[in-house]
């Protein structure tokens, strides 16, 4: 074989070797690309799976967690069982002074005097007046009514002349720079009513008397708890925990929604604003800051109810001999 042929053969072998090596490198790179793509796809699938698991757990946990409702609530309202902790004084505007000046009567009507011997049936004892107050703790009208009437409301409850029930609602939730103060305050009131019912009236009064301005942030949950504990209530730790966890916020929201549809025992009447005050089912439409006018309204309604419920005496028939 000539030298030229040997040279050409060697050159051809080198080219084949280079080509083979290049093919090997290319194959290795292809495998690496496939591995990278597979790993990336597996990673994405893992993230999606974990995300789906977390979402599923969260939704199922929320669905399985029941909405907490106060145990002692009746038709979304809390009856006042005591007026301890209110701390009324003669210098309190709208309290003793205003009521004393008004000289308001106790809202229990006297039965008519009998002018002749009568009846075999005697009238039953006069029932106490039923007063229901729907209140939003950011409503200025609610504040005016409470501050003006707190003394006589306290007296009527103490004397047993009236049953007094408050219904915390949250109609002004959007009026506190996004903090939902109206809703949180209603939930806080429910906490006190649940865990220290004798101090509910005092806390209700404090929320209204110390009411923040509309379109302000309102009190924080910690400040609401401080305000509640300042009344001297029982179980301050459990009350604080309840308020700061907003335990009854969902209840307050649904209670408000129910009131906006229909008030219990009113034959279709719905809540349109706060305060809404019902006396034996009749709505008070007088001045919110005039305790004398409200007392007269209560007395009138109580009298009307008394005469409507008092049975007409049946005369005794004496047989003729």
Pair 221, 253: CB distance under 8 Å: no
Length of the chain, in residues: 321
The pLDDT value recorded for residue 3 is 57
Among 23-32, 41-50, 60-69, 272-281, which is the least confidently predicted range? Answer: 60-69
The pLDDT value recorded for residue 86 is 84
Sketch the domain layout of the chain as residue ranges. Answer: 8-61, 78-108+127-308
The pLDDT value recorded for residue 97 is 39
Pair 96, 88: CB distance under 8 Å: yes
The pLDDT value recorded for residue 125 is 43
Which has the closest alpha carbon to 153: 123, 129, 127, 124? 129
Instruction: Give Cα separations from 258 to 9, 188, 254, 271 (angstroms).
Output: 98, 19, 6, 9
Separation of alpha carbons 84 and 106, rounded Å = 20
* Residue predicted with more confidence, 65 or 189: 189
Among 31-35, 94-98, 139-143, 270-274, which is the least confidently predicted range? Answer: 94-98
Separation of alpha carbons 142 and 135, rounded Å = 6
Q: Is the pLDDT of residue 103 over 50?
A: no
**Inter-helix orientation angle 181-195/236-244, to 10°:** 150
CATH 3.40.50.460 holds for 78-108+127-308: no
- Per-residue pLDDT averaged across 60-65, rounded? 39
Q: Is the pLDDT of residue 314 over 60?
A: no
- Per-residue pLDDT averaged across 230-238, rounded? 95
The pLDDT value recorded for residue 94 is 44
Long-range contacts, stretch 302-305, CB < 8 angstroms, 24+ apart: 302/107, 302/108, 302/109, 302/126, 302/129, 303/109, 305/127, 305/129, 305/280
Pair 299, 291: CB distance under 8 Å: no
Give percent of the chain with pLDDT exceeding 90.
56
Separation of alpha carbons 88 and 283, rounded Å = 27
Q: Please, which residues bridge with residue 48 across strands?
A: none
Task: Give the position of tokens 């007392």.
Answer: 295
Separation of alpha carbons 7 and 168, rounded Å = 104
Query: pTM of the entire structure?
Result: 0.69
Q: Is the pLDDT of residue 274 over 90?
A: yes
Which has the closest alpha carbon to 135: 67, 203, 87? 203
């Amino acid at each position: 074989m000539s030298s030229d042929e040997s040279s050409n053969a060697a050159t051809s072998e080198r080219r084949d070797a280079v080509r083979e090596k290049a093919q090997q490198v290319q194959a290795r790179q292809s495998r690496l690309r496939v591995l990278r793509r597979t790993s990336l796809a597996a990673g994405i699938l893992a993230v999606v799976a974990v995300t789906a698991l977390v979402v599923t757990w969260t939704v199922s946990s929320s669905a399985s967690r029941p909405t907490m409702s106060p145990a002692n609530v009746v038709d979304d309202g809390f009856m006042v069982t005591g007026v301890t902790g209110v701390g009324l004084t003669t210098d309190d505007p709208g309290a003793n002074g205003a009521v004393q000046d008004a000289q308001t009567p106790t809202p229990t009507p006297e039965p008519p005097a009998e002018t002749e011997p009568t009846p075999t049936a005697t009238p039953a004892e006069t029932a106490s007046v039923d007063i229901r107050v729907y209140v939003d703790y950011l409503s200025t009208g609610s504040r005016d009514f409470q501050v003006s009437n707190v003394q006589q409301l306290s007296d009527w409850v103490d004397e047993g002349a009236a049953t007094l029930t408050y219904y915390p609602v949250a109609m002004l939730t959007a009026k506190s720079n996004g903090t939902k103060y109206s809703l949180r305050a209603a939930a806080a009131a429910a906490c006190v009513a649940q865990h220290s019912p004798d101090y509910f009236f005092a806390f209700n009064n404090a929320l209204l008397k110390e009411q923040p301005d509309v379109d302000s942030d309102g009190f924080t949950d910690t400040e609401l708890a401080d305000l509640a504990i300042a009344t001297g209530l029982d179980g301050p730790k459990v009350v604080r925990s309840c308020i700061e966890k907003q335990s009854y916020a969902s209840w307050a929201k649904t209670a408000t929604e129910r009131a906006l549809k229909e008030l219990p025992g009113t034959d279709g009447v719905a809540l349109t604003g706060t305060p809404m005050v019902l006396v034996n089912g009749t709505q008070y439409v007088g001045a919110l800051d005039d305790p004398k006018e409200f007392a007269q309204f209560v007395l009138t309604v109580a009298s009307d109810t008394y005469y409507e419920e008092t049975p007409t005496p049946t005369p005794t028939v004496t047989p003729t001999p």
